[in-house]
């Protein structure tokens, strides 16, 4: 090496180490792609609140680095999802994507994240494909697959003696997959789904379908609705008098974060979900106290827990690489092997990146979805089509 090339190499090394030192001082860029408007607006807010609560509990840092937030309102609109994802990935150059609620939007977000090799933490959307055919080493979910809570309801309903069921939901991935999961669990246990009813997302003109249910007279109804649509559905079901003759069951989104608005119409409803009120564990009690302090007018719900746990999972990954997000493989490996001490109870991730978790049977009592029992212990999504 000549003195000239040695000097040039030294200068390059100094410049590189200066830029690395600078990068280590920079905040981690977290991009929230969530709904802040429309029927799922409250769900997006709760996820963000939960995520930030955990970060605040760590003194505002993850993996030893400050956190900077970037936000896009995805409006639960799949048609706008590629452009919204690109805003965070290309314009804001985020290190990690966090989102979203709607399954259709989440599938587009997953594709964008995989194309850009940006780590994605799915904080609600249950689209089975995300941890099925679309699974990837950089794709993680801290919520559920649509199959999980719905499948768990099947044996519960059959054990209550119900032989026939009608399903009703929005016609999109979340509704279709929840219904398919329920059918699988119910028919395996001896029941029969006699009719599937649906309407387009996010319509709430339930009346004609409720009239059809009354005419069909099944033993029970299984449903998937969430957010503002769930509030209206439960109210309309009771107003039509159906709650007196045909018991209504659902994935727990039907009554999570909605009880204040649903009022008496929700009382006594049975649902299955990976979170419940009244778990009364030290971990959950601490979470609920902290959430209540930070957001005095909001009940801690499943969405807040999923956001909180996404930050916990990211912390595991960032701690493993001392905050160096460029070490993606090591960070992701640590995340895949994590055991999360969640307010819902401990969970691990499957190979496909989906929580292996308890599903609770809950009953609405006042403003609470009270845990009655564990309907399915450490239930793993079948991850059909994932080739990891
Ligand atoms: C979904 O689209 O996957 C979804 C939306 C709200 C609650 C649960 C699932």
Using CA positions, which residue lies closest to atom 6 of ligand 1?
226
Residue 25: band (very low, low, confident or very high) from pLDDT cuts 50, 70, 90: confident
Contacts of 353 (CB under 8 A, 6+ apart): 131, 135, 136, 139, 140, 141, 336, 388
Using CA positions, which residue lies closest to atom 7 of ligand 1?
226
Atom nearest to 125 CA in ligand 1: 3
* Over residues 65-82, mean pLDDT: 98
* Over residues 7-18, mean pLDDT: 49
What pLDDT is stored for residue 14 in this prediction? 44
pTM of the model: 0.94
The rounded distance, in Å, linking the Cα atoms of 184 and 140 is 25
Question: pLDDT digits over 215-246, tens only?
Answer: 999 999 999 999 999 999 999 999 999 999 99
Determine if ligand 1 sits within 6 Å of the CB of residue 253.
Answer: yes
Q: How far, in Å, is the centroid of ligand 1 from the Cα of 224?
A: 9
Question: pLDDT digits over 239-262, tens only?
Answer: 999 999 999 999 999 999 999 999
Residue 17: band (very low, low, confident or very high) from pLDDT cuts 50, 70, 90: very low
Atom nearest to 105 CA in ligand 1: 2
* Domains parsed from the chain with CATH numbers: 28-144+278-353 (3.40.50.2300), 147-273 (3.40.50.2300)
Determine if ligand 1 sits within 6 Å of the CB of residue 174.
Answer: yes
Atom nearest to 127 CA in ligand 1: 3
Query: What is the DSSP track for 252-312?
Result: GGGTSS-HHHHGGGGTT-EEEES--BT---HHHHHHHHHHHHH-TTS---HHHHHHHHHHH
Question: pLDDT digits over 107-159, tens only?
Answer: 999 999 999 999 999 999 999 999 999 999 999 999 999 999 999 999 999 99
């Amino acid at each position: 090496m000549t003195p000239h090339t040695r000097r040039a190499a030294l200068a390059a090394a100094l410049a590189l180490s200066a830029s690395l030192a600078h990068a280590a001082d920079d905040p981690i860029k977290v991009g929230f792609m969530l709904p802040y408007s429309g029927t799922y607006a409250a769900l997006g807010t709760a996820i963000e609140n939960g995520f930030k609560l955990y970060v605040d509990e760590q003194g505002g840092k993850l993996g030893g680095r400050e956190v900077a937030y970037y936000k896009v309102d995805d409006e639960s609109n799949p048609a706008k999802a590629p452009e919204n994802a690109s805003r965070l990935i290309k314009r804001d150059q985020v290190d990690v994507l966090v989102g979203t609620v709607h399954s259709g939007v989440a599938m587009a977000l997953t594709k964008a994240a995989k194309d850009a090799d940006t780590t994605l933490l799915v904080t609600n959307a249950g689209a089975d494909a995300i941890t099925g055919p679309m699974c990837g080493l950089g794709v993680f979910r801290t919520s559920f697959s649509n199959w999980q809570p719905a499948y768990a309801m099947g044996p519960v309903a059959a054990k209550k003696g119900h032989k026939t069921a009608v399903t009703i939901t929005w016609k999109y991935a979340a509704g279709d997959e929840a219904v398919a999961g329920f059918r699988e669990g119910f028919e395996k246990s001896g029941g029969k789904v006699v009719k599937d009813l649906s309407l387009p997302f996010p319509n709430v003109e339930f009346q004609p379908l409720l009239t059809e249910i009354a005419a069909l007279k099944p033993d029970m109804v299984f449903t998937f609705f969430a957010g503002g649509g769930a509030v209206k559905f439960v109210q309309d079901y009771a107003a039509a008098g159906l709650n007196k003759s045909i018991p209504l069951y659902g994935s727990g989104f039907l009554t999570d974060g909605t009880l204040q608005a649903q009022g008496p119409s929700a009382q006594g409803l049975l649902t299955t979900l990976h979170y419940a009120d009244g778990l009364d564990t030290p971990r959950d009690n601490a979470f609920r106290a902290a959430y209540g302090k930070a957001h005095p007018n909001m009940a801690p719900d499943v969405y807040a827990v999923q956001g909180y746990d996404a930050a916990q999972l990211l912390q595991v990954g960032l701690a493993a690489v001392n905050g160096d997000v460029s070490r993606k493989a090591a960070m992701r490996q640590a995340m895949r092997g994590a055991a999360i001490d969640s307010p819902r109870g401990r969970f691990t991730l499957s190979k496909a990146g989906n929580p292996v978790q308890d599903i609770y049977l809950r009953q609405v009592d006042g403003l609470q979805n009270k845990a009655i029992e564990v309907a399915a212990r450490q239930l793993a999504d079948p991850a059909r089509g994932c080739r990891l």
